[in-house]
Structure 1
Amino acid sequence: MATIDQSLLNKINGATGTSASGKDVNSADAIQDRFLKLFTTQLRAQDPLNPMDNSQMTAQMSQISTVTGLEKLNQSMASLTQAQMAAQSLTAAGLIGRSVLVADNGLTLKGGEVRGAVGLTQSADQLRIEVKDSKGSVVDSFDIAQPGSGLTYFNWDGKNAAGETLPDGEYSFSVSATKAGKAIEATALSYQQVRSVGIDGLTPNLALSNGRRVTLDTVVEVAA
């Protein structure tokens, strides 16, 4: 039984450049085209009494099929990524002017009240919130008893510990939570207005009213 001429395989696998049709000679389609043409040529010239070994042809075709499949998979993934980026960009653009809840400890007091939230990985016995002015001094503090896991919302009335109304402006807050006398993880979350949207890499980023930039995938909630 004859074998496939190794020189044909070398021509298939070792070619470089661009074919007359304009295809990249190393692309899966070009390799497959060359293989079929060269194999057909050798098939016509073979000795009918001593046919070629089909196992080599099968192995080569299997390799070509694998390369073709991977190339098509890569093309599909690239198209999917582009579609996802386009969808995310449209979603992000729709957030301009809206308030979003993100991991941030800023509080913008306006009209005598501001809303914030705390994220807990588990339920707590007690949650303490301390509000600070622009100088970092604590102006008010309050406790929330037995908050559950997930998001816990709060409203600050814009007054200090003495009950005096504070001026509108930028404040911050810190959070601490305990369970069975031990500290547990707690994340400060605040509402910030989206001023603009930018594209950096695969995920759109949002420019917030407090000057920070966050990626779209870090938005916890969009305010109604």
Structure 2
Amino acid sequence: MTTITGDFATTQMASKDVAAKNSQDSLGQAAFLKLMTAQLKYQDPFDPVDNQAMVGQMAQFSQVAGISEMNASLKQIAGGFSTSRLSEAANFIGRSVLQGGDTAYADAQGRYRGEFTLATGADNVSVEWLNTAGEVVHTQQLGKLDAGKVPFELISQDEAGNPVDVGPLTARITGAAPSTLSVWLPVMAVESSSTGAEAMLVTPAGNVSAASVKRIG
């Protein structure tokens, strides 16, 4: 698995070196012609290789060579896509993404943020923040809310106004039943997936797919 925090040139160069080595170790057309010439040279004159068998060998080699070249081309194309995705996803580093869930993590400014959706309005809505022990550490009264998306935020700072990370906090909505609940997660790094098909964003809550992100902020 490849992890990047800004530059992926080293990884790209290593991939090219491996591809070059693989091409040197494979059987090329010149080597096949040498083997075929040796076979004709040392064959039993009283029991020569059948013409059809020789043609069959050549056809089989051509087919294998064609498949190998096609696989090499597809790998090159896939590698280009993977590199492009990583390059684009690298723009997420240092920012936060909105992801479905209820556990938020502090960003660089000490902000715990989230968003929920109400299908219908409610009169007395509040957000309770719970620590990892399940204790309510803070309650925010939001009051009467109309239907729609409702953002919420908790700022954790010391007396001097410096951000303080108190660990993950779980948001619990009371007074209403939200249809969706999402939280903002800070992105620390980007890495490729095991298949190389998509870029994964490294967050305190774990890796999330760049394609699953609702918003970036």
Contact 1:117-1:154 within 8 A present in 2 as well = yes
Contact 2:115-2:149 within 8 A present in 1 as well = yes
Equivalent-residue separation in structure 2 for 1:58 and 1:127 (angstroms): 78
Contact 2:113-2:183 within 8 A present in 1 as well = no
1:39-97 C-alpha deviation (Å, 9 max, x unpaired): 76589x989xxx97432222212211221122212322332232223112211211123
Contact 2:103-2:169 within 8 A present in 1 as well = yes
Please state how far the C-alpha of 1:205 moved relative to its aligned partner.
Answer: 3.7
1:85-125 C-alpha deviation (Å, 9 max, x unpaired): 3112211211123322223323469899944256xxxxx97
Equivalent-residue separation in structure 1 for 2:71 and 2:151 (angstroms): 50
Spell out the pairing of 1:34-183 with structure 2 (5 A cutoff).
34-38=34-38, 41=41, 53-107=50-104, 114-117=113-116, 131-135=127-131, 136=134, 137=136, 139=139, 153-156=149-152, 168-169=155-156, 171-173=169-171
Residue 113 to residue 93, structure 1, CA distance change in 2 (3 Å): closer
Q: What one-letter code is carried by the residue in structure 2 that aligns with 1:32?
A: F
Unaligned segments of structure 1, at least 5 residues: 1-21, 119-123, 146-151, 159-166, 176-185
Q: What one-letter code is carried by the residue in structure 2 that aligns with 1:27?
A: L
Residue 213 to residue 72, structure 1, CA distance change in 2 (3 Å): same
Task: Please give the secondary structure, in 2, of the residue aligned with 1:173.
Answer: strand
Ranked by relative contact order (alpha carbons within 8 Å, sequence separation 6 or more), the top structure is: 2
> When the two structures are superposed, what TM-score results if normalisation uses the length of structure 1?
0.51
Give the one of 193, 199, 202 matched to 1:207.
202
Contact 2:191-2:200 within 8 A present in 1 as well = yes
Residue 200 to residue 112, structure 1, CA distance change in 2 (3 Å): closer
Contact 1:115-1:153 within 8 A present in 2 as well = no
Please state how far the C-alpha of 1:126 moved relative to its aligned partner.
Answer: 6.8
- Does 1:190 find its partner at 2:183? yes
Task: Please give the secondary structure, in 2, of the residue aligned with 1:61.
Answer: helix
Unaligned segments of structure 2, at least 5 residues: 1-22, 157-167, 174-178
Task: Please give the secondary structure, in 1, of the residue aligned with 2:64.
Answer: helix
Q: Percent identity?
A: 19
> When the two structures are superposed, what TM-score results if normalisation uses the length of structure 2?
0.52
Residue 190 to residue 115, structure 1, CA distance change in 2 (3 Å): closer
Q: Which has the higher mean CA deviation after the structures are superposed, 93-102 or 125-134?
A: 125-134
Task: Please give the secondary structure, in 1, of the residue aligned with 2:130.
Answer: coil
Residue 173 to residue 63, structure 1, CA distance change in 2 (3 Å): same
Contact 1:130-1:173 within 8 A present in 2 as well = no
How big is the alpha-carbon RMSD for the aligned residues of Structure 1 and Structure 2? 4.7
Task: Please give the secondary structure, in 2, of the residue aligned with 1:133.
Answer: strand
Equivalent-residue separation in structure 1 for 2:128 and 2:211 (angstroms): 25
Task: Please give the secondary structure, in 2, of the residue aligned with 1:94.
Answer: helix
**Max radius of gyration: which structure?**
1
Spell out the pairing of 1:17-32 with structure 2 (5 A cutoff).
24=25, 27-29=27-29, 32=32
Q: How many residues align?
A: 167
Task: Please give the secondary structure, in 2, of the residue aligned with 1:97.
Answer: coil
Equivalent-residue separation in structure 2 for 1:217 and 1:223 (angstroms): 10
Residue 112 to residue 216, structure 1, CA distance change in 2 (3 Å): closer
